A and B are shown apart, each in its own frame.
Chain A
Amino acid sequence: MNEAPCIRVVDVHKQFGPLEVLKGVSFDVHRASVVSMIGASGSGKSTLLRCINYLEVPSAGAIYIEGESLGFREDGSGRRSTRPLREINRMRRDLGVVFQQFNLWPHMTVLGNIIEAPIRVLGLPRKDALERADECLRTVRLSDKANEYPARLSGGQQQRAAIARALAMRPKVMLFDEPTSSLDPELTDEVLNVMRELARAGTTMIVVTHEMDFAREVSDRVLFLHDGLIDEEGSPEQVFTAPRSERCRQFLAKYLK
């Protein structure tokens, strides 16, 4: 592939005090592809996702978004300087995040949640923001709930609203951090279906998930994290049916009967 990867993660380390959660992780995400990250709790997959848009600042290593480093600037002679927060904020617009806990803003309606950042951050006129919101709400099939406050919605509806909110920024990449883990089992499908459609429509996605069937069906590439390192990596076919790593085999055995 000739074009630069959409996202390039290079040797990322993350330390919380004495605890090393990520021990050097590298991978690329190409445009219009879906990368899933699986692994046991504590394997570092959520931390890794949060590092990708600097909600956690990596202790070492680099994140490149379309060839541009998120944390530092490089001048012509290769000298690095820390990037100011203002610039990091500008680059963050290109990364939509969907959280496990939805994190909708409770004092705004669903519509208010969706148009907030397009208006305040991108500076869109209200009319354009409303049009975008309309389109995003249709994508997540929540048009009838536009004027409800989040507290009145089910968990599945809240998460779909959160997806619409992230989509409204027209990000280059969508990051999903265990989007169905705090949902009742009967509500996971409505969220996963929306994500399937996004994947089918060519959205670039990085998904941290425990939904193995979903990961297998939708992903172009699957990463198995263990103890802060990528322990197994490949096509879903290869990772799920013929994992080379013993730990990955054991992990999957617990999920796939």
Chain B
Amino acid sequence: MGNWERLVWNQRELLLSGLGVTIEICLLAFVGAIIGGLLLCLVRLYVAPLRPVAILLIEFFRATPIFVQLMWVNYVWPEVLGWPNTFFTAGWVALALQSSGYLAETFRTGIEAVPKGHREAAASTGMPQLLIFRRIVMPQALLTAAPSLVNQFTVIVKSSTLVSVITVPDLMFQSQKIVNIWYEPIEVLTATAGIYIAFIFLISQAGKLVSDWLRRTFGLQG
């Protein structure tokens, strides 16, 4: 047990700070992905002249490996756009881009799943189109999308381990740092894997609760 104490317990501050960075970067990426995904989806569905652009972006984000995306945002964007200026920002932006491609499709499915009759019932009261979208269509689409949203968060957490390669000090980065000091990988990497498993397990359990609640309360299939 001596090794565990020396390599894991005594390094807990480093590991916890890494976990903090991981959580922070994942949350930023998640929020960014939701906003980006919504925008892409709305443009694709309702802004006809820009539809091809939206489709191109969605397919591009979805089809590029996260590692390539990360390198691209980190090394190409600053040259071309002058932004992002930190590795941390590049990290969450790259994660957000990829997930926004997937979420755009999730939201689209949610919007298209709202039965036509629900819109007609609203229209028959004289409700204008924009209000129908805001009050009747969008809330249902978001509820339908909720379980997939949670699922996408677990994908972000898993992908986030790659930001360590652009030196963002996340959990994976700190764990490798400890390995590189003593060259004793067994305990540290096992503990790190354990932390990721626990984190992701918690999220997916929360997702299950959400979809059960949706089915029970609203009769919506997530």
A56 CB to closest chain B CB (Å) equals 10
Contacts of B217 in A (CB 8 A): 149, 151
Identify the stretch in A32-40, A57-65, A90-98 within 8 Å (CB) of chain B at 4 or more residues. A90-98
Q: Does A106 contact B (CB under 8 A)?
A: yes
Contacts of A121 in B (CB 8 A): 125-127, 131
Q: Chain A, 70-103, contact with B by CB distance < 8 Å: what is the 0/1 string?
A: 0000000000000001100111110111010101
Known: A99-B117, A151-B217, A151-B219. A107 touches B125 (CB 8 A): no
Within 8 A of A (CB), among B60-81: none
Sorting the interface of chain A by its residue count into under 10, 10 to 19, 20 to 34 or 35 or more gives: 20 to 34
Q: Does B7 contact A (CB under 8 A)?
A: no
Evaluate contact between B219 and A103: CB separation under 8 angstroms: no
The distance in angstroms between the C-alpha atoms of A120 and B120, with both chains bound, is 16
Q: Does B139 contact A (CB under 8 A)?
A: yes
Q: Does B6 contact A (CB under 8 A)?
A: no
Within 8 A of A (CB), among B121-173: 121-129, 131, 135-136, 139-140, 143
B32 CB to closest chain A CB (Å) equals 26
The distance in angstroms between the C-alpha atoms of A162 and B128, with both chains bound, is 20
Within 8 A of B (CB), among A102-154: 103-107, 116-117, 120-121, 149-151
Contacts of B117 in A (CB 8 A): 99, 101, 103
Q: Does A204 contact B (CB under 8 A)?
A: no
- In the complex, the chain B residue whose C-beta lies closest to that of A116 is B135
Q: Does A53 contact B (CB under 8 A)?
A: yes
Contacts of A150 in B (CB 8 A): 219
A33 CB to closest chain B CB (Å) equals 21
- Measured CB to CB, the residues of A under 8 A from B are 53, 55, 85-86, 89-93, 95-97, 99, 101, 103-107, 116-117, 120-121, 149-151, 162, 165-166, 169
